[in-house]
Amino acid sequence: MQIGAFDSERREVPQSGHGGRWGGATEEADGRAMKVTSWGVFTDCGLVRRVNEDAYLAAPPMFVVADGMGGHAAGEVASHLAVEVLSELVGRGPIGVQDVIDAVDTANDAIVQTAEANSITAGMGTTLTGIAQVMAGGVEHWMAFNMGDSRVYRLAGDRLEQLTVDHSEVQELITSGEITREEAGVHSRRNVVTRSLGTLPASPLDSWVFPPLEGERFLVCSDGLTREVSDDEIAACLRTGADPVATAEDLLALALGRGGADNVTVIVVDGSDEEVQQTVDEDTMPRGGHDE
């Protein structure tokens, strides 16, 4: 299991001089009809910030990125609490959609209680996004989930789709037609999220459940990547056919090459190369994603 900044099994690669950077090993995950064949993880504090407030979890059935908020290292506390709670779903056998939702609720409670107990962490919070292998209707599916402006993308059949919808003020302006996606990148309110973990009442979690596809590839990332690298560039990188570790490192290098103004965390996950034969209810397909 790989948990950012906690896991003793992580591999530390040479320091960039701008913060810690870790690579996720390629591994096999068998024993289920829907396999994750390999994944790669890299995280970096960027070229401007001194503390990496991102955290991640990378172990079947969960691949999660959390981007902490709050300053004075409080954001780091919130993001790590979130992934630590979700890591309890790893290794316990098949999980369902409600298991993920319940874990997110538990993580929110843990962040709120910790924030209330210490003035230094008061007001802290974190985004949370990821994918999970879940059982739905007796059939294995993917579940994408999101709270905040970190993202999940899927490349399938050479088509890149943003599965999650940003919870941010600029996304609301885009949806209403007041600004374009290009204008959102330089808008003065681009850092303001409208949902996060660490609130009372708890913010609602968005989720999408959908069947696996042959040869699909996922990207789970913090906004430190998407603010520096365009969707077209992300798609081109994911399409190279390089292994997930190399692809994750290439995406990180792109973000740092553009200035690395924020923490950057990238998880690339490859699904099974085998065709999956399953009966699927069409109502479980994701709604409202964005194509490149």
Residue 11 pLDDT:
31
Calculate mean pLDDT across residues 86-95. Answer: 95
Lowest mean pLDDT among 36-40, 94-98, 215-219: 36-40
Residue 185 burial (10 A CB sphere; 0-12, 13-18, 19+): middle
Residue 188 pLDDT:
46
Residue in the block written with tokens 């194509």: 291
CA gap 47, 20 in Å, rounded: 11
**243 within a domain of the structure (yes/no):** yes
**68 within a domain of the structure (yes/no):** yes
**216 within a domain of the structure (yes/no):** yes
Closest alpha carbon to 203 in 127, 120, 281 = 127
Closest alpha carbon to 30 in 284, 214, 273 = 273
Residue 4 pLDDT:
64
**125 within a domain of the structure (yes/no):** yes
Residue 186 has pLDDT above 80, yes or no: no
Residue 244 has pLDDT above 90, yes or no: yes
Q: What are the tens digits of pLDDT across the range 98-148?
A: 999 999 999 999 999 999 998 889 999 999 999 999 999 999 999 999 999
Residue 147 burial (10 A CB sphere; 0-12, 13-18, 19+): buried
More confident residue, 193 or 69: 69
Q: What percent of the chain has pLDDT above 90?
A: 65
**290 within a domain of the structure (yes/no):** no
Q: Read off the pLDDT band of 3 (50, 70, 90).
A: confident
Q: Read off the pLDDT band of 95 (50, 70, 90).
A: very high
Residue 209, CA atoms < 13 Å, CB-side half-sphere: 19
Yes or no: say if 121 and 162 are a contact pair by the CB < 8 Å rule: no
Category of 78 on φ-ψ map: left (φ > 0), alpha (ψ -120 to 50) or beta? alpha
- Contacts for 31-36: CB closer than 8 Å, 24+ residues apart: 32/94, 32/133, 32/140, 33/140, 33/276, 33/278, 34/133, 34/140, 34/141, 34/142, 34/212, 34/271, 34/272, 34/276, 35/271, 35/272, 35/274, 36/60, 36/61, 36/133, 36/269, 36/270, 36/271, 36/272
Category of 161 on φ-ψ map: left (φ > 0), alpha (ψ -120 to 50) or beta? beta
Residue ranges making up the domain that contains 56: 2-276
Category of 260 on φ-ψ map: left (φ > 0), alpha (ψ -120 to 50) or beta? left
CA gap 204, 82 in Å, rounded: 15
Residue 12 pLDDT:
32
Q: Read off the pLDDT band of 262 (50, 70, 90).
A: very high
**9 within a domain of the structure (yes/no):** yes
**254 within a domain of the structure (yes/no):** yes
Yes or no: say if 222 and 265 are a contact pair by the CB < 8 Å rule: yes
**281 within a domain of the structure (yes/no):** no
Helix ranges restricted to H, 118-219: 169-175, 181-184
Total domains, the chain: 1
The enclosing domain of 239 has a CATH number of 3.60.40.10
Number of helices and strands (H, E) in the chain?
Answer: 7, 15
